[in-house]
Structure 1
């Protein structure tokens, strides 16, 4: 009886490893070199990324990654997280890969619930684009004014709905805000302030790893240890479409009370250099 149970357990574990390998292989074949910042070549016969390219991006050996896709080895959560980042897995796919590898979701993986009153605050500003942001600057909600001026977050994959990530990697966002660099740097200082207070939080680590992978040319930014709260400022935004004349907006980051540790980024149309958020 014990032998039968052991055999069944071994077979189930083998099936999970095989399923994980097929899952990773399918995602690898969907990616183009340009998706991960690699140059394309005309001589590619196989579709997607090569195994050696994923291995380099994840920081593992080619032989080990090959065995992982073939279902021949077990893996640690830390290494699987690195592979997931290399393959640009979204949150749902990342959780599925962890489940196939036998890892339960970490306590910090679930998205926290936020007070519905914060969402009502966003809707109370019909002319002021506003975002509800999580501690790691993930975009949790937005109002109609924001979707009208900026690329609609609903059309952006959930794994990429992060304000800082979009400002430093997304061309449409950078065209709308030509002076995006100082805003992004100030947001990064704000992020570092929160990350140092919560070193155990996965959200900060995942975002930092994504920023380093997607914008290695900004390595000096990501190595910076300076911190600080986001300072209100007036910026010029160039709307898409006919006319496209710059408009002045005052940007303010309003911090929600703990334990939510959320924030609201509100952009107020202004003709002056005083950035004051509208009254809720």
Structure 2
């Protein structure tokens, strides 16, 4: 097991330990604590391992069995996504390597698929959520991501800075947070990936007020998220309501499709009018 992955697993365990309270696991609390969350000895006792061994595991100094990883994850009350992430970091679940940078636009089939969705704004993304292509419906609503500088052509950076189009998202935080946790899930097994580190650095620069997010090690698969955006064009409804979803084509496994489907009839009618006008 790679040293950097052992360290990443240890950091993942420490982050999980910090958010579990003694009461969550049926303990009394044990008086004053210097730090939030469980103590190492409490996790070790709950997982059935020695304190020294658990300490070494958090410090990235040892490899261990799947049974121990499973026991520690149960002790830390990890959800399914966080548990799977721990297993992948420990080498017990296969992880696809991150594709090299500079991929042009996904497969022709995936590009044709999103281009056929006249009224569904959509993007092709790689695992780092870098934007590879967008369809005409997306361009009409938000602008062409191809106009962004190469290093900033990323979904997280696009949302953190505010979409460059004329329709600002009213509250991008839930969407941005959900996508960031998905990003962490995808890149966590490659802690030295240069592009992923650049994205996090740029997020710090773009939104220093959200530094606790970019340092957070929470992981989760992205769930569909509904947002409202201001319709600045002045025609149609004043608010657009869209549900953002991530899809993965079976035949293009290292590509993600971000779809934005209308959540009400007024938004659907506006997207249809925009498509017809062009």
TM tier relative to shorter chain: 0.5 to 0.7
Counterpart pick for 1:195 among 184, 187, 190: 187
Task: Please report the TM-score for the alignment, with normalisation by the length of structure 2.
Answer: 0.54
TM superposition shift of 1:208 = 0.9
C-alpha distance after superposition, 1:31-88 (max 9, x if no partner): xxxxxxxxxxxxxxxxxxxxxxxxxxxxxxxxxxxxxxxxxxxxxxxxxxxxxxxxxx
Sort the Cα spacing of 1:198 and 1:242 in 2 relative to 1 into closer, same or farther, 3 A.
same
After superposition, what is the alpha-carbon deviation per residue over 1:119-150, rounded to whole angstroms, capped at 9, x for unaligned?
01101100000000111111100000000011
Q: Secondary structure at the match of 2:123?
A: strand
Separation in 1 of the partners of 2:123 and 2:263?
Answer: 18
Could you tell me which residue of structure 2 aligns to residue 213 of structure 1?
205
Number of the residue aligned with 1:44: none
**In structure 1, how many angstroms separate the alpha carbons of the residues matched to 2:255 and 2:249?**
5
User: Which residue, out of 210, 216, 229, partners 1:224?
Assistant: 216
Matched, 1:249 2:242: yes
Alignment CA distance shift 1:211-1:134 (3 Å): same
Helix, strand or coil at the partner of 1:228? coil
**CA RMSD across the alignment:** 2.5
TM-score, length-scaled by structure 1: 0.54
1:257 CA drift (Å): 4.3
* 1: CA distance, partners of 2:106 / 2:153: 17
Structure 1, unpaired ranges of 5+: 1-106, 273-280
1:153 equivalent in structure 2:
145
1:200–1:257 Cα change, 3 Å: farther
| Residue aligned with 1:253, SS | strand
Instruction: Confirm whether residue 263 of structure 1 aligns to residue 263 of structure 2.
Output: no
Q: Deviations over 1:132-173 (max 9, x none)?
A: 011111110000000001122132222221111011123646
Cα separation, 2, equivalents of 1:129 and 1:242:
19
The answer to whether the 8 Å contact 1:167/1:174 transfers is no
Q: Contact conserved, 2:225 with 2:244, CA < 8 A, in 1? A: yes
Gaps of 5+ in 2: 1-98, 266-278
The answer on 1:127 being equivalent to 2:127 is no
SS at match of 1:154: helix
CA distance in 2, matches of 1:201, 1:160: 16
Shift of residue 175 of structure 1?
5.5
Deviation at 1:217, TM superposition (A): 1.8
- 2:188 counterpart SS class: helix
2:172 is equivalent to residue 180 of structure 1: yes
| Higher RCO by CA contacts (8 Å cutoff, separation 6 or greater) | 2
Task: For residue 260 of structure 1, report the CA deviation from its aligned partner.
Answer: 4.4
